[in-house]
Structure 1
Amino acid sequence: MIIKKISLVVTAFFSISMFAQETATASLEIKPEVKLSYLDSVKSSFKKNDMAARVDSLWMKELTSLDIYDDLSKDIQTINTDITVDEELPTELLKQRLQAMNEKSPFNIEYNQGLENIIKSFLKNRRKSFSRLMALSEYYFPIFEESFSRHNIPLEIKYLAVVESALNPKAVSKMGATGLWQFMYGTGKQYALKIDSYIDERSDPMKATAACSEYMNKMFNVFNDWELVLASYNSGPGNVTKAIRRSGGQTKYWDIRSNLPKETQGYVPAFYATMYLFEYHKEHGINPERAVVKNFETDTVNIKNEMTFKQIADLLDMPQSQIQLLNPSYKLNVVPHYQGEPHFLRLPKDKIATFVSNEDQIYAYVQHQSGIRTMSKQLALKVGPKAKAKLEKTIPTETEIYKVQKGDNLGAIADKYDVSILDLKKWNNIKGNSIALGQNLKIKSNADPIAKNPKDLKAMPETDKKPTEAVAAADEKEKTSGQTQEYVVAAGDNLGSIAKKFGTTIADLKELNNLPSNNIGLGKTLIVSKAVLEIDEPSTVNNAIVSTNASVDSFKKGASSAKMGEDYYVKKGDSLYSISKKYPGVTISDIKKWNGIKDGDIKPGMKLKING
């Protein structure tokens, strides 16, 4: 018994000793200081606003999708009003509902077999499309109604935008008609819509609707009949007057319909069918999808300097796609600055509050970014044409194959690979906007980003391009170094904590992983860094660029920048690339050479020499 007690005492003593040693060791561990980038340091000074109006991924996907537009356009052009459609809708009940619609509308809505066939066709084939369109209408219809009420236009004309563009401001027809109201280039100019290299106001919901209101008023003064106004909107007033003459002077749409162009013959019935489905969707069991954001939850701010969507997205912690959706008239993802002309940016109200409260810091950051691009451009001039030609020959064209998945569209795929829709169409010989499920698309990796913009680097949407990507000497030897780094989301994680852990920003994490919001699911695999280009034997010009990069990094990191000549202990999540970024002027090759590393593998706790 005494021996047992003694052994217990000894065991307890050793346990306490071990615990004390662990505690002492833990207390000596120094937590690595989290180094903020210049962008994060700017954002950390922002005054926060508690308003939480956000646009989620569903709403963004619907606004960018051209699927409904393509489907409805084909329906209207090819639908045969003389073919009876088998769909449950008693004719007498339809007549009663059309009569009720006619009583409260300035249009002459009358029952006929052709209209019944189109309504039944939409009910049979387009239920899901109309469910999605009704969600979009909660954003766009208030814009239309406000403009129409000011110009004395029947509010029912709002349904025409569904027929014209499926409520997609980026819709472009085969003939080049653009925007919600499908204006041709000449018509847009005629109604004072600005169209230049940066802006296409045919895609601006408010300005295009005002132009539409003006057109409708003029045509009503000519025809004095709203159905003929709709017909003229589709085929032009000349075709309507010809149809009137060929019909012996008849002036009612249904009397002259057979003498109108084929597309226009299905146009007005499609308008009435759309109006009917919106009015009686509950009776047919069509449930509108949830409208995440309504127009009154957004606001505009006047932009005083040229800014890219990338800069705005980084500063306000929101995806670029969200800015594109709310500002479809900016063609190059750039808000330009013209002398004497104001340009406005539409954002959710909480983001407007953040922007207005922190304008000085925001414009200072934009100025800083512009300075980087200017240095890059000046250094690029030092590269001779021969060297440039030689460099271009050494860069191979890499083609990746992407298989179209459910829910994909050209806009989403272009955003995913950071290429333009025009490039996607050109590479894959696509004429319209339709892509098939399972279709293989070619994605070329060396598309020239400068070609997207007439002002070279000045207006590149990707403003975080490094000067080394803008120019390189002919004698460079390039090779890919490092690995794409991934992280599996654990319990308690959020984008902010992950960004700090890996020395990156929330905006970068969103861009790398195509995240529409700050929400991440438990167990989701995130890309936290990508493989980078390592440059050996830099030329004189490249030395200048590296020096420029070092000064920029130094400016971003400020007093907290790591020092040369010290030892660095590898932490979990580190890569050679992320470590090299901590030390101005240090390359991956340097770290490998100083530490005898051949394959690029490093492990947590490993000691690295950073030689000065």
Structure 2
Amino acid sequence: MKSSIISLIAGAVLTLAVLTITSASPEQLHSAENAASTVRSFELPQSLSIAGEELPLSSLDIQERLDREILVNSYWQSNNLLMLKRSDKWFPIIETILKEEGIPDDFKYLALIESGLQNIVSPAGAAGPWQIMKSTGREKGLQIDNEIDQRYHLEKATRAACSYLNEAYERFDNWTLAAASYNMGMSGTANRLQEQRVDNYYDLRLNNETARYIFRIAAVKHIHEHLSDYGYIYHNNEGYQLPAFDTVMLDSPVSSWVNWAEQHDITYKELRLYNPWIRSNKLTNSANNTYALLVAK
């Protein structure tokens, strides 16, 4: 008897659910269809550009390559949300420097796909949010040694990346090729163009990483600019934030960063967190350089 009553109730609930779904308005169905939990393909945008340069979306090959990156990146929800939150924290700094250095704003997405705006190290040894190699960093004026590594200094690393990109643009007269060269080098890019007798990125046969590189940038840019189309609900106040800082100038050696931090009423952890370019527990500073340290208030 008890089981019969339960069965009747379950049947009634199921019937009600079916009626509810069947009677849903087109707007409600559309909303459900766009929910983050719904797995589906997406229409490609009619047009898409990077740094003002259009992707040739009339090509079936280009459509397929872009579609791959949109699918891969749109369904990596946790990573996208983390990138959005970190973007709120770091993009204001990056955007300001890009503008000052004459680099198109879209290049902030290059940093985003390179590192997720994290201070990581690649298997090849590229480091920091812009994934700069030691040789390139030193060539662009960054201090890189056992005690200081300015590839982890967001402002200085961003300016170094801008210097590279401006140089690449002068060489190729094309921002898309400049971006591709950030992945495979200027010489490598120039050699492929010459060998294959073409003048643009999209006609090049490349290694898998560089062949996907521009499409990853384009896909992440498009998803982040059209979040609701891909099932994301994200509000402006949900991102990560930086605390207020005092800037302390330093031009002397430091025998112990732990002691230095204690003297400035912060922990060693806080010192290293907000000044990640410090790579040792001391500073010799034999060159008498001047450093600006961020001390959280």
TM bracket, shorter-chain basis: 0.7 to 0.9
* 1:334 to partner: Cα distance: 3.7
**1:231 paired to 2:177:** no
Higher helix content, 1 or 2: 2
Residue 469 of structure 1 corresponds to none
* 1:326 to partner: Cα distance: 1.1
Task: Output the CA distance in 2 between the equivalents of 1:309 and 1:285.
Answer: 46
Paired AA for residue 163 in structure 2: E
Provide the secondary structure at the position in 2 that maps to 1:266.
Answer: helix
Residue 213 of structure 2 corresponds to 267
Paired AA for residue 229 in structure 2: E
The one of 287, 293, 296 aligned to 1:345: 293
Q: Tell whether the 8 Å contact from 1:131 to 1:287 is kept in structure 2 after alignment.
A: no
Structure 1 residue runs of 5 or longer lacking an equivalent are 1-85, 352-612
Change (3 A) 1:146 1:338: farther
Change (3 A) 1:88 1:299: farther
Task: Output the CA distance in 1 between the equivalents of 2:100 and 2:162.
Answer: 9
Q: Decide which structure has the larger Cα Rg and report it.
A: 1
Change (3 A) 1:334 1:280: farther
* 1:243 to partner: Cα distance: 2.0
The one of 30, 53, 65 aligned to 1:107: 53
- Structure 1 residues 243-289: Cα deviation after superposition (integer angstroms, max 9, x where no partner): 22333x22121111x2x222111111111111112211233233458
Residue 156 of structure 1 corresponds to 106
Q: Percent identity?
A: 27
Task: Output the CA distance in 1 between the equivalents of 2:143 and 2:52.
Answer: 32
- Structure 1 residues 535-556: Cα deviation after superposition (integer angstroms, max 9, x where no partner): xxxxxxxxxxxxxxxxxxxxxx
Aligned-CA RMSD value: 2.4
Paired AA for residue 290 in structure 1: E
TM normalised by structure 2 equals: 0.77
Q: Give the length in aligned residue pairs.
A: 252
Provide the secondary structure at the position in 1 that maps to 2:215.
Answer: helix
Q: Which structure ranks higher in relative contact order (CA pairs < 8 Å, sequence separation ≥ 6)?
A: 2
The one of 167, 170, 179 aligned to 2:128: 179
Q: Tell whether the 8 Å contact from 2:88 to 2:240 is kept in structure 1 after alignment.
A: no
Task: Output the CA distance in 2 between the equivalents of 1:301 and 1:322.
Answer: 14
- Structure 1 residues 457-477: Cα deviation after superposition (integer angstroms, max 9, x where no partner): xxxxxxxxxxxxxxxxxxxxx
Structure 2 residue runs of 5 or longer lacking an equivalent are 1-37, 58-62
Provide the secondary structure at the position in 2 that maps to 1:282.
Answer: helix
* 1:107 to partner: Cα distance: 2.5
Residue 245 of structure 1 corresponds to 194
Residue 277 of structure 2 corresponds to 329
* 1:242 to partner: Cα distance: 2.5
Change (3 A) 1:221 1:278: same
Change (3 A) 1:254 1:87: farther
Provide the secondary structure at the position in 2 that maps to 1:95.
Answer: coil
* 1:309 to partner: Cα distance: 3.9
Paired AA for residue 117 in structure 1: R
* 1:196 to partner: Cα distance: 2.0
* 1:321 to partner: Cα distance: 2.7
Residue 303 of structure 1 corresponds to 250
* 1:197 to partner: Cα distance: 2.2
The one of 67, 81, 98 aligned to 1:116: 67
Task: Output the CA distance in 2 between the equivalents of 1:339 and 1:162.
Answer: 34
Residue 231 of structure 2 corresponds to 285
Task: Output the CA distance in 2 between the equivalents of 1:343 and 1:307.
Answer: 15
Provide the secondary structure at the position in 1 that maps to 2:54.
Answer: coil
- Structure 1 residues 189-221: Cα deviation after superposition (integer angstroms, max 9, x where no partner): 111111122101111111111111111111101
Change (3 A) 1:311 1:263: same
Change (3 A) 1:307 1:282: farther
Paired AA for residue 221 in structure 2: M
* 1:122 to partner: Cα distance: 1.2
Change (3 A) 1:136 1:335: farther
Provide the secondary structure at the position in 1 that maps to 2:228.
Answer: coil
Task: Output the CA distance in 2 between the equivalents of 1:176 and 1:261.
Answer: 19
Change (3 A) 1:87 1:265: farther
Task: Output the CA distance in 2 between the equivalents of 1:307 and 1:144.
Answer: 32
Provide the secondary structure at the position in 2 that maps to 1:115.
Answer: helix
| Equivalence map 1:57-456=2 (5 Å) | 87-91=39-43, 94-96=44-46, 99=47, 101-102=48-49, 105-111=51-57, 112-124=63-75, 126-169=76-119, 171-247=120-196, 249-256=197-204, 258=205, 260-288=206-234, 290-294=238-242, 297-303=244-250, 305=252, 306=254, 308-315=256-263, 318-334=266-282, 337-338=285-286, 340-348=288-296, 351=297
Change (3 A) 1:252 1:304: closer
Task: Output the CA distance in 1 between the equivalents of 2:281 and 2:64.
Answer: 47
Paired AA for residue 121 in structure 2: V
- Structure 1 residues 553-582: Cα deviation after superposition (integer angstroms, max 9, x where no partner): xxxxxxxxxxxxxxxxxxxxxxxxxxxxxx
Change (3 A) 1:236 1:337: closer
Provide the secondary structure at the position in 2 that maps to 1:199.
Answer: coil
Provide the secondary structure at the position in 2 that maps to 1:347.
Answer: strand
